[in-house]
Structure 1
Amino acid sequence: MEIVLTRIAKRKTYTIGRLEIEGAGENLYFCDTLEPTWRDYAHGGRKVKGRSAIPEGRYAVVISWSPKFGAWLPILLGVPNFSGIRIHAGNTAADTQGCILVGKNKLVGQVVDSRIWLHRLKKKIVEAKDRGEAVWITIK
């Protein structure tokens, strides 16, 4: 399964994205995302601990137990200079330290209905894994 996150609003204190899931040979809109501030790492941007979005790239996704959240959550593997990057519920940039929050961007700088969209995304990932598919996310 291929997930594509396209960052569409890179603001001073947050980043809004559009999450799509590949289906029938095309990418279908799934939900919106919220991350910390985007940094232009390719041109000298520097990571600010707990306040930076991860670099663009393609990463494997698995579901593992998160002691911090006390729940099974998707985690991105092999993110350069970052560890423990999860996809989880939250509403504002204050709710993430580099992770990807999912929901609907109905309020400026926020996502809403995050738990609902996290549940739906986890279900899709588990279904793909049950079919023997690898799950990848491309961030651009």
Structure 2
Amino acid sequence: MIIELVRFYTDGSCTAGALYCQDKQLCYVLEDRMRNKKINDITAIPIGEYPITLHTAGGFHERYKKKYPEHKGMLLLNNIPNFKWVLIHIGNTIDDTSGCLLVGNELRLGEKTNCRVVHSTVAYRAIYPHLAAAAASEEGLTIKVINGCPFDFGGIPAAA
């Protein structure tokens, strides 16, 4: 299965987009990687296609396993240039985005550090079973990262 991360907004504090599967929006996302300071278009995930696997080690996995009985492993994006790891998980502010894609049902874009996703846990619980099953299947799960905007966001600047 292939999901798409369509990046449609970027400024000095956040890179935002949405996840799609078969042209259906799954949720909104904020993205970044481990860094001392976010550098737009450098700390965002490079355009490309990356396999997603279930990662069953580490603190995030252990916390999620306790919190969500259906948890089978963290959704881990693999083989991303210059990244140690990128996880898909919950959170709601730019400060939570180190090394991850934060998911949410609503996106709020604001000045500098006010970019956030809302209803993150609800979004994660909705998409997780399908993505985890695909990642564990013989077909596997791939994420395709692109810049663009498949529809009009009413004046939100597109990603470069």
Q: TM-score range by the shorter chain?
A: 0.7 to 0.9
The aligned counterpart of 2:81 is 80
The DSSP-based 3-state class of the residue aligned with 1:53 is coil
Q: Deviations over 1:62-115 (max 9, x none)?
A: 111241312321000100110121001010110011311110234221101111
Deviation for aligned residue 1:128: 2.4
The aligned counterpart of 1:120 is 126
The aligned counterpart of 1:43 is none
Is residue 64 of structure 1 aligned with residue 55 of structure 2?
yes
Cα 1:38/1:3, change in 2 over 3 Å: farther
2:28 to 24, 27, 32: 32
Cα 1:79/1:116, change in 2 over 3 Å: same
Please identify which structure carries the higher strand content: 1
Give % identity: 31
The aligned counterpart of 1:55 is 46
Report if aligned partners of 1:91, 1:101 keep a CA contact under 8 Å in 2.
yes
The one-letter code sitting in structure 2 at the alignment partner of 1:56 is I
Report if aligned partners of 1:32, 1:111 keep a CA contact under 8 Å in 2.
yes
The aligned counterpart of 2:67 is none
Cα 1:105/1:15, change in 2 over 3 Å: farther
Report if aligned partners of 2:15, 2:30 keep a CA contact under 8 Å in 1.
yes
The DSSP-based 3-state class of the residue aligned with 1:132 is coil
Runs of 4 or more, structure 1, over 3 Å off, are 36-40
Q: Which structure is higher in RCO with an 8 Å CA cutoff and minimum separation 6?
A: 2
Report if aligned partners of 1:16, 1:35 keep a CA contact under 8 Å in 2.
yes
The one-letter code sitting in structure 1 at the alignment partner of 2:26 is F
